[in-house]
Structure 1
Amino acid sequence: MLVNCPKCGFSQPQDQYCAKCGVDMQAFKPKPPPMSTRMLASPVIVIGLVFALVFAGSLYIIREQRRQEVTRRMDYLKNGPLYAESLQPASARDSASAEDIPEEVAESTPPPPAMAAQAVTAVAASSTTAPAARQMIGNEADLSSLGGAAPTGDTEAAARARPVDMNVHYALAPRARLLQLVEVSRAESNFVDFGEFQMGTLRGVKNMLGRLDVIENVRKRFDSPNGDQMWFVGARNTDAPLGLTTRLSLRGSDNGLLRGEIEILRSLHESPEFSQGIVQKAFGPAEFAIPPQAGLLIVLNLPRVPQYDETAMTPTQFLRIFRMPDFKQRQSDFVMLVDFESGAESGRPGTPAPPAPPAGR
């Protein structure tokens, strides 16, 4: 009977030793294959590697898309609406202009039933849940608008035709006061929290200002409840803008709710070493829908490091925040309070106007 040598494969009659290589064929044990060869031969490991590659590729694509979106938003905030318009293909702009609807027709179109029901539900929820939280601040909030009747179609049409004045107050709030404001805003049922950026509805904004350290005021006017405004607070006489760029868009009103969105670009130093440069970070866009006599509470996290060299530049009102002891010691936080007034409300007697913003804005 012929047998094959387990080492060299030589075929010979059955014997203990190989006639060609001399190995003991009965005691010989072949060397096991390398670990890599055995792993590649396992179908379970091969399938796992394939899934890992697919998952890593998908994760990379998603992160790249998010990065491009953030970059696009930052460019939009830095360069204004003209940049966003230039990103749109010419064919899309032509088709959009061809499909424009007259303003009177668009405004007379009623909102979808689902949207109307959602708005009514939001107003009802705020009417029932907000008073308990507002008790924490006493009589600071203006509750007179909670029991108002729903506006008629003629009233809404007249409201759409009126301009809207917006007052933005940049302030520092003591930590205890800020917690109370956030609690009141959360009770309005449309509070959003993105970590470093929080926003919610707040009633009686003007009544809150006396208990905050207001640093700067900005006043803007919308010709109607549909439009965009963009402004900057900080210093422009540096290598790059140092401060906050804000874009706020109004998208009309329905069922008494003023709708829109806000987006903020923060351009500040995040390290005491100015040589490391200004870091830009975008927040939003965040949508809002606020009832009459209400405004917005925005809590934005700011780096608690100096932002300018006192010997090299004179700080603007906003940049003085970073030299205030309470802010540096984390005893107070930065907030933005936004209130809106229709043309009739802003022009009525006895309505105080906030201080005008500094020149150059």
Structure 2
Amino acid sequence: MMVTCPRCGFQQPKDKYCAQCGVDMESFKPQAQPWHKTFFKNPVLHVAVFVAIIGAGGFYIYKNKQANQSDVASTSRPSVRVNSSNNLPPPPPPAPETNLEVAGSMNEVPAAAFAAANSGDADVSKELAAARGLSAEATATPDESKKATTTKNVSGPHLTVYYAEVNRQALSRLVEASRSSGQFIAFNDYSAGIVPGLEKRMQIAGIKILHKEERPVESGKTLQWTYGIKNRSTPGVEIGLTTFFELSDIDGNNLRGNLEIQRTWREPSASGGFEIQRKSFPAIFEIGGETGFLMAGVMPAQSNLENDDELTALDVYKILRSSQFRAGESEFVIFVEYDSK
């Protein structure tokens, strides 16, 4: 019968002592190996490490692919964001005996541009517009601002801006469509968002177009137009809405730009009376194809003016005569579409 020495591994016929190393084979107990040697020799560990390496590599490849897809999607899909009010330019100087409040602003549009729109001197307005890089043709003087019923038919790349009264049910549908696109923001007093298939959605019941404005867009030029009237109690100040649009980029059928609605309005004051206040509603968006942009919540339900009839004679402000609007059952909404042709 052959036995193996537990110390040196020598095989020999059964005996008490090893013929090679002389150890007592019956009483010899080998020393236990250090735990780390036993651990690293375990084949299960080898398999686990291999699986972990393969899994980590696969996860890295997956995350990298997802990040690339996200980058592509972010540059191709319509988007909207509202400017933060933390980086506001200084407000324009207030008119005598008025209290002008600026709530937010579009950083790319100089605050002094609004002063040009409110100036009673058309030449000054044009000079300021030229100094600020505004399009002289698109900058509305106070006299031109009263012609709210005029719609410009333009060719080439242009914006189409609709001022509309939308009942709550129709507005809810538009907001739902905008939220589903992932590009809707509710910001303080107003909300804004991208709406897919806007042209078709504007055909639904509950949307009444008050006024349509078409403006050509050109890189490097800021569009500006105003609808308003002179306020009798504050000479030199024009009550109404001024629209600024600055083109950032055109990529094929997609347009990226900055939109700002500035409102000069007679509103309740903290002291309990009424005072002229100026507020701004800015947004940066990208639209193209069948997508469009909407902004809601920029129009108060009342003008609080002595000459209210003069304001409501303009198409944009006929909503102030609406009993639904005054009761909060409808909303003033601005729609923007882009046509590259």
TM-score normalised by structure 1 residue count? 0.49
The residue number in structure 1 matching 2:211 is 216
Give distance in 1, aligned partners of 2:163 and 2:227: 9
With over 3 angstroms needed to count, the CA separation of the structure-2 counterparts of 1:209 and 1:259, relative to structure 1, is same
Q: CA RMSD in A?
A: 3.5
> Which deviations, in whole Å up to 9, do the C-alpha atoms of 1:293-325 show, x marking residues without a partner?
221111123222244335873631222222210
The residue number in structure 2 matching 1:258 is 255
The residue number in structure 1 matching 2:170 is 177
With over 3 angstroms needed to count, the CA separation of the structure-2 counterparts of 1:198 and 1:83, relative to structure 1, is farther
Structure 1, gaps ≥5 residues long: 1-62, 89-161, 344-361
Give distance in 2, aligned partners of 1:297 and 1:226: 23
Offset of residue 275 of structure 1: 7.3
Q: Within the alignment, does 1:228 sit opposite 2:222 as a pair?
A: yes
- How much identity, in percent, do the aligned residues show? 24
Q: Within the alignment, does 1:332 sit opposite 2:327 as a pair?
A: no
Q: Within the alignment, does 1:302 sit opposite 2:299 as a pair?
A: yes
The residue number in structure 2 matching 1:127 is none
Higher relative contact order (CA closer than 8 Å, sequence separation 6+): 2
The residue number in structure 1 matching 2:183 is 190
Give distance in 2, aligned partners of 1:243 and 1:274: 22
CA contact (8 A) 1:228 1:249 kept: yes
Q: Which has the higher helix share?
A: 1
Offset of residue 189 of structure 1: 2.1
Offset of residue 85 of structure 1: 8.0
Give distance in 1, aligned partners of 2:245 and 2:86: 27
Q: Within the alignment, does 1:77 sit opposite 2:114 as a pair?
A: yes
Amino acid of the structure 1 residue aligned with 2:115: K
Give distance in 2, aligned partners of 1:166 and 1:255: 15
Give distance in 2, aligned partners of 1:64 and 1:253: 28
Offset of residue 232 of structure 1: 1.0
Structure 2, gaps ≥5 residues long: 1-84, 92-101, 118-125, 134-154
What secondary structure sits across from 1:321 in the alignment?
helix
Give distance in 2, aligned partners of 1:190 and 1:341: 20
Q: Within the alignment, does 1:166 sit opposite 2:159 as a pair?
A: yes
The residue number in structure 2 matching 1:342 is 340
Greater C-alpha Rg: 2
What secondary structure sits across from 1:322 in the alignment?
helix
Amino acid of the structure 1 residue aligned with 2:116: N
Give distance in 2, aligned partners of 1:221 and 1:305: 32
